[in-house]
Amino acid sequence: MYIIIKKFKSEEIEKAIENARTSFLPAVSAMPGFVDYHVIKSAEDMIVSVLLFNSKAEADASIVMSKQWIADNGFDALYQLEEMTVGEVVVRG
């Protein structure tokens, strides 16, 4: 399994969370290999998203899709990517 952890800054955090729930989640969960998705509000202007996919190729495809989703919806200012970590899950409980 492969995980993608993204840290986003947003001036409209509640709107960013709602869009993740109502628009991004349905799109990403329909992708091949999707396992799980979580959004964590880590600060007043910061969210962390965690995506889990079965394979590296499927995880990589979701990165491309999420960039396109942000661009297509005009969310470039809403979701300011601060940091991204992608890697193989080596211990899972």
> What is the band of 25 on the pLDDT scale with cuts at 50, 70, 90?
very high
Radius of gyration of the chain (CA): 13
Q: What is the CATH number of domain 2-88?
A: 3.30.70.100
Residue 29 φ/ψ, nearest 5 degrees: -70, -15
pLDDT surpasses 90 at 7: yes
> What is the band of 82 on the pLDDT scale with cuts at 50, 70, 90?
very high
> What is the band of 24 on the pLDDT scale with cuts at 50, 70, 90?
very high
What's the whole-model pTM score?
0.92
59 contacts: CB under 8 Å, gap ≥ 6: 2, 3, 4, 33, 51, 53, 86
pLDDT surpasses 90 at 76: no
